[in-house]
Chains A and B, each alone.
Chain A
Amino acid sequence: MLAAFIISLILFSGTGCEGLLDKQPLTSISDANFWTGEEDALLALVGCYRFPSGWTHEDFAHPQGLIYLDLAGGNGVEKENFTTLGMATSNTVATSGNILGYWSNAYSQIAHYNTFLDKIVDCPMNEGKKVLWAAEVKCLRAYYLFYLAFHWKDVPMPLTTLSVDDANSISQTPQADVYKKVEDDLKAAIAILPSERVSSEYGRFTKGAAQVLLSRLYLAQGRWSDASIVLKNVIDSGVYEIDRSNGDLSYEKLFQIGGEYSSEMIFSIQYLKDNITTSRYIYLSPEALGGWHQFAPYNELVKSYFCSDGKDIANSAVYDDDDPYINRDLRLYASIFLPPLGTYKGTTFNNVTYNCFLGPNKRDSYNRYTLFNGYCPKKGLDASVSNPYATYTYTPIMRYAEVLLSYLEAVNERAPGNVDQQLLDLTINDIRDRVNLPPVQIADVGSQDLVRQAVRKERRVELAFEGFRYFDVLRWGIAEQELNHSFTGVKLSDDPNAPNYRGSGATASPVDEDMYYIFETRTWAAHNRYFPIPQNDLNINKNLKQNQGYN
């Protein structure tokens, strides 16, 4: 009996059959069981619409990534200098972690799109949907491919799932060919995508979104005629209109929660409270509101906002150099925290009044960090979000104001003679009217260059912090002027009794001739037009060639 017991123990372990060793995953689906029908394809399609969230920052479709691109274009700086020195200055190096971030996240998204496009071909499902869904995913891919080519010039262009060998040997495709592929895919998609979505599908690519993306490509290439045609189509579709639903607060509210459903929204990324969120507000908010006050908008941006009479500060009758924050464009108040100065009482948000003149070591103090300057961005901040680490405010990617301004620009560049009052009213004045600014009169913009200046100024302030500025200064070829000088912050004073007293003698804060705080000097060289190919990938793929000017 005893022997039997022990022997059975031994046999139990010894005769363990092969089946004991078959273990299947318990929380994911194995490849072999996937792509069996439309439900699987839909799961994969949703997977394609998942954009980087959380603490991922460097991405062309992440709110923080877009702010970085805006600051890089001369609208401001990051407290710890992640963006400007790392990405868009003559000090940019190929080992920049930020640049690698944008590059990696773009290719990561593209890989998901390519797998989807490879696999859906053989998925048993409705053919119409198959074509339509593939077209959407190609639009998503076009978005990332476009930004890769725009910022790095010649880039690898994978169009199918890569093997490891492929990824380590793929060569760069000339920028023109990438642009061509983007154009072809978008054109094909425009032909079949719906103009509008049923409410349950809201947020997916539409014809209008594909057209706007195509227009960006044309603008980047200087193809003004093509741009004006595709943009005119968007305008004529009648789907979109400038959002005036909140009166004077329309512009400010547009970027807060709910703005994603606005009549002006063409494409945006939505999040969900407690589930899919970003870390945007902890970076964005001033210290007075519990944030890190990570960004400092330049005074150069503040100055470019109009005055309430519609004129810029150099020409406005209502502008007082000693009282610079009063009588200004509503968009300035909606976009930037301004300190109390002169008759301006300081920006109040959620019952907290912003002040950068509380003294050394005090919150938001204009020189508390080397790269503080007194200002803080405000656009998009929504008081109802209580947890700044888990921001669920949506991210606008394309909206109608962009269409109107791009259209005016394209027409003016292609055929300045076609710019008339009617066109101005249709485009720039529609936008200005929302923020109570008087219309631009054709008489005041009597030359192509004056229209160009007007549209560029409007674009800078209307689209501030939405990720357009670096794109714009690069394609306009003005980066060398715009990014090669000292930058300033709030206005200071030599009056020892003024709250913004700058101190005296050697310890006085430096100011420019208008008494604005000088706090940073940036340099930008011609070769910075393109980012360096990340050293990480150059180390592995010997077929990649570094862009000119980078060591």
Chain B
Amino acid sequence: MKKIKSFHECDFSCLTKTFRIMRITVFLMLAVILQTFANEVYSQKTKLSLDYTNTRLEDVLDEIEEFSEFFFLANEKLVDLNRNVNLSVKNKKIDEILDILFAGTDVVYTITDRKIILAPSFLTEHAQQQRTISGKVTDSGGQPLPGVTVVKKGTTQGTVTNAYGDFSLANIPEDATLVFSFVGMRTVEVVVGNQATINVTLEIDAIGIEEVVAVGYGTQRKVNLTGSVAAIEATDLANKPVATTSQAIAGLVPGLSVVQNSGRPGTSATVRIRGTGTFSSAGNNPLVLIDGMAGSIDDVSPDDVESISFLKDAASASIYGSRAANGVILIQTNKGKDGKFRVSYNNSLGWQKPTELPDFLSSWEYATYYNEAMENMGNSAAYTTEQIQKFKDGSDLDNYPNVNHLEWLLNSGSGFQQRHNIGLQGGNDRIIQNFSIGYWKQDGMTAKTSNERYNVLWNTKSKLLESLTLDTHLNSYTNLYKAPNGEPQSIDGIIGYAVRQGPIYAGHKSDGSFGYQDSYSPEAWLASESFVKNNVVNITGTVQFSWATPIKGLSVSGKTGITYNTNYNKAYRAKTYFDDSKTVGPATLSVVSGNNTYKAFEGLVKYEKQLASHSINILAGSTFDEYKENYLTGYRNTFPNNYLYELTSGAASSMSNNGYSNEWSLLSYFGRINYSYLDRYLMEMNARYDGSSRFASNGRWGFFPSVSAGWRISQEKFWQNSELNNVINNLKLRGSWGVLGNQNIGTYPYQQTYSLGQNAVWGSPGTMVSGARITTFNNPEITWETTRILNIGIDFNLWSGKINGGIDYFDKYTDNILSSVQVTRIMGRSVGQSNIGAVSNKGIEINIEYNTKFGKDVRLSFAPNFTYIQNAVEELADGALTDINNNRIVGEPLGIIYGYKTNGLFVDQDEINAAPNQLISKGGLKPGYICYKDISGPDGVPDGMVNSTYDRSVIGSTTPKFYYGLSINASYIGFDFSALLQGLGGHQRLIGSYMAYTFYNGGQIQQWQVDNRWTTKNPDKWAKYPRLETLNMSNTNLQVSDYWLRDASFLRIKNVQLGYTFTKSFVSQLGLQQLRVFFSGQNLYNFNSFYKGWDPENEISTGDAPSFYPINSIYSFGINAKF
């Protein structure tokens, strides 16, 4: 709940002026809370101590807003706020204070919960004009609203409502329109017609509320932001059937890309702010701070999020210096709003299924097309007609099976998921507590795969003294991931090989044995006692003291926090029976036990000063962060049976262990100055000075400054006096520039080290001898990666908040990128990081929100957002223009696909003969093979031969150029509906091996390959699949080329939610305050033109060790209850 500020220089017509852009969902929530929790207790209980001498009334009211939860509504034309007052009270209630402040004036006040309306007393008397049109203005809770301006549209003829909300206007013609406006409320226009009485309900205008958003080490009013900060609220995340916060934020914020790579239980999504800034191991993950402590976005349950801020430009992020280059995500957890005792319970139950599945052929079709492939290769058929018949009739399923192993595997688990969350809030005027406990369990689509999580959040805010506040925060969770184990040793790999295993291999045979291909059989591995178990316990605790010093405006705070994380991972591969000739063993067990401790200390000094029209805020601080991790691993094999899987049970002769530790630390000094003049001209400067243990002592310190400025044009007199103001009610220009760093590059990257454990076996008999060698060549001179961002933005509200929006342009340039320089294999070693290269990201972000209302009860809002990013490599090591081996070319984006261009398929031998020389000799080519283009040669012109040096070029890019989202919210009486569409576009992808090629290394064949294949009967040059053959990695058709490239753009129906809130009268009979039931669907449909049966968002590693976990569609329902 944010405060309403209502004191502005403005004339009569600008009472409608609004500032705040907020979704209607938030608005709804807000309205609900106002109603639900309205009570007189606060104003009665709250006591304030204030001391002012000769201070402007406006400032005094400001401060009361600041130190309490009261907010004032007033018409500035009617109440003089510029007069100076004296006030000295101790522990007085608000009405007593107001009595003092307005003693001797004609101002009267009305207190409704926290809302205080100020109006001249004449309004409390009956209106004196001739009543032609009269009526009553109330708020949505039925409270009369005094001081509401009522004017005849297009004139200055008007009045204001009295203390009872009544008004009357004379001489109003039938065709007139009355405009009802009040600061903080949404303006309403009513056509008079033949009505004599017009009663109007004004609603609190979400955009009239000045939202406060979290920024680095503090908060800022959104209207005063000069940097680029996006914020979302709890309601944006509510009731999505996803496990993690990272998945829940997809599509909500411009500039933010969230890619869900996998549907495996417990998987995080990949989050990027404004593109991919670096190709170094420092990575592109934003810095995430949870209530000020660095952590991972998924350390917080979506249920516990109060708000999330995304600091996107350098001005907002540079206060985090060397860790902020990829943007910063600030997560605030639920803190509790007031002392009122509240209990809530939310749940959801859901079922998952894969979004897409490849369409494999049945076994008899497999055999038929295998024969065609054999024929195409000049070989004899492998299957006889009789055998194909046996596949077809299913008479001998052990020997002539028809098994879709992938489908079997993905149906082997229940795919059921459930979430429960209980929240408790309460306290008194000195202490407020928020407590929540959550449970989340997701069973995979595959059997024996699950992720289970408990989390507990406990926040308290205590007033130890009037001037001393203590905030404590405890967030903990346990997470247990379970999965099958086998060959390969992950469920993703088992799924990957199920793609390979054709229908001609049996699954479960009638004698209890299993069919298999090599050592791969999902049925056998899932039947075995093998497992993977990962246990994580994470506890974060912070304590913060804040002291408002006796010096006015000066406060200091000290904070310390510890995160302790333990993880215990066990992978057991049982001795596994396939059939009488194959038992894979011995059983093996690996155990990894680790813990890490992160400690952070923070001291802050803040000073605020208001001097007439000048406002200054100063922040200075220092932090010290330290991290250490320890790991211990153990291994044994050969166990007495498959049910003993502790290390001691394994053969002692096989035991081995290992251990390692790493540590780093970071010491920082930082500061910020905010200055604003008349709330119109805004300026901010940030700087941070960071020292990191990751660098050699001579290059350890880095300086990261930023500046930003804003101009609220709509505050200018000329604007407010112009017609423009009727359309554009709020307009702000802002710009920023700054420098950020990235230091996340391993712990000792500058030191040349000999790795131990490079052992060998010598002797007769052979024994292990210890060895050491340098495996990586490190560069002692490395230093920070730096990112400079220029940001120009504009924020606007149109038509009284019907349309709100913002546009940002940014230019982000990262240089000194830490990366291994490209080096030939002749070097003989991998090469450590050096500061090479630069990458730029330039882009535009647009977000718009449109709110409307039909009739009395239907509310509708659309909020599209769109981001375009142009990513480019700007510089490579030593001035090189290309680094082909890593797919980097100056001027091209990261993630390019570099390969051959093709000219369809060869239709006949003549075409082969006439074509330029291909990669292999022409004797090896056949009609139906891919024809590669000769695009250049040593002399820069085609040289008659296709060759890897001259004829490859950039044929695509895996980096999306634009991403977009659209939120739709609607409500009708008790029903609410929301939908979120999300898309990525402008990028391509290849899949490969078992996923794209027929019979690859003994793999399968899919319907689309058959349907689109080149055949001798129909030698289509542009067929989408070449001559059917069995393929392997050396095949000339499988070079990286545009033939296999597919557009990976997609538009996804990410979430659809339909809810119904029961009427109060009904739920009160159940002893509830509120009850809502909902249906929620996630990933319901995906529009794309990618490979049929494969989700373009799904990360699928191909090659000869494929692995992936299909993304899932989730259908869920649940309840939200408040007691």
Contacts and interface: CB of A to CB of B under 8 A. Distances in A.
Contacts of A288: 581-582
B615 interface: no
A369 to B, nearest CB: 5
Contact of A540 (B578, B602, B653, B822): B822
Contacts of A86: 1033-1034
A12 B752 contact: no
Contacts of A27: 659-661, 756
A304 interface: no
Contact of B693 (A22, A94, A110, A202): A22
Contact of B773 (A48, A156, A271, A551): A48
B771 A44 contact: yes
A345 interface: no
A406 B494 CA distance: 48
Nearest to B557: A6
A140 B624 CA distance: 50
Interface in A153-207: 156, 158, 162, 164, 167-168, 170, 199-204
B760 A49 contact: yes
Contacts of A110: 828
B428 interface: no
A47 B772 contact: yes
A10 B624 CA distance: 10
A443 interface: no
B921 A369 contact: no
A202 B603 contact: no
Given A25-B751, A80-B1001, A18 B919 contact: no
B762 A204 contact: yes
DSSP class of B's interface residues: helix, strand, loop or mixed? mixed
Nearest to A265: B764
Contacts of A363: 581-582
Contacts of A521: 378
Given A104-B825, A539-B882, A31 B751 contact: yes
Interface stretch (A333-341, A411-419, A530-538): A530-538
Contact of A541 (B378, B585, B824): B824
Nearest to B1030: A370
Contacts of B767: 272
Interface string B790-834: 000000000000000000000000000000011111111101000
A50 interface: yes
B661 A535 contact: no
B919 A203 contact: no
A212 to B, nearest CB: 19
A276 B768 contact: yes
B399 A46 contact: no
Contact of A43 (B697, B772, B1032, B1034): B772
Contact of B547 (A2, A20, A274): A2
Contact of B762 (A6, A94, A203): A203
A274 B753 contact: no
Contacts of B692: 21
Interface stretch (B188-196, B289-297, B945-953): B945-953
B426 interface: no
Given A275-B768, A507-B383, A9 B822 contact: no
Interface string B681-718: 00000000001111001001000000000000000000
Given A26-B663, A203-B761, A507-B380, A94 B773 contact: no
A85 interface: yes
- B: contact size bracket: 35 or more
Contact of A91 (B581, B747, B921): B921
B562 to A, nearest CB: 14
Contact of B828 (A2, A81, A85, A107): A107
A509 B603 CA distance: 81
Contacts of A11: 603
Interface string A96-112: 11001001100111111
A34 B947 CA distance: 47
Contacts of B691: 18, 21
B482 to A, nearest CB: 23
A4 to B, nearest CB: 11
Interface string B945-971: 111110000000000000000000000
B557 A168 contact: no
B770 interface: yes
B923 A386 contact: no
A12 B380 contact: no
A104 B662 CA distance: 30
Interface residues of A, number: 121
B663 A276 contact: no
A506 B669 CA distance: 81
A525 B558 CA distance: 77
Contacts of B829: 108, 111
Interface string A347-368: 0000010000001110100010
A481 interface: no
Given A20-B667, A510-B379, A170 B826 contact: yes
A523 B920 CA distance: 11
A551 B919 contact: yes
B181 interface: no
Contact of A100 (B583, B700, B825): B825
A506 B379 contact: no
Contacts of B565: none
A201 B761 CA distance: 10
Interface in A272-319: 272-276, 282, 287-290, 292
A23 B693 contact: yes
A270 B761 contact: yes
A28 interface: yes
A91 B924 contact: yes
A128 interface: no
Interface in B628-671: 635, 637-638, 653-654, 656, 659-667, 669
B176 interface: no
B583 A21 contact: no
A544 B558 CA distance: 61
Interface string B750-792: 0111111011111111111111111001000000000000000
Interface string B344-363: 00000000000000000000
Centre residue among B380, B748, B756, B831 by max chain A CB count within 10 A: B380
Given A6-B558, A80-B1001, A273-B654, A47 B824 contact: no
A507 B385 contact: yes
Interface string B715-738: 000000000000000000000000
A11 B624 CA distance: 11
A506 B762 contact: no
A387 interface: yes
Nearest to B638: A386
A465 interface: no
A16 interface: yes
Given A14-B669, A168-B823, A540-B824, A274 B882 contact: no
A13 interface: yes
B64 interface: no
B1002 interface: yes
Nearest to B651: A274
B1063 interface: no
A49 B583 contact: no
B772 A29 contact: yes
B622 interface: yes
Given A21-B700, A47-B758, 4 more contacts: A21-B691, A47-B754, A50-B771, A167-B828
Interface of B: 371, 374, 377-385, 387, 399, 465, 468, 487, 504-505, 518-519, 545, 547, 549, 556-560, 578, 581-586, 588, 601-605, 622-624, 626, 635, 637-638, 653-654, 656, 659-667, 669, 691-694, 697, 700, 747-748, 751-756, 758-774, 777, 821-829, 831, 882-885, 917, 919-921, 923-924, 945-949, 999, 1001-1002, 1030, 1032-1036, 1039, 1104
10 contacts: A50-B771, A97-B1033, A100-B825, A107-B826, A158-B828, A273-B654, A288-B581, A290-B519, A540-B823, A551-B919
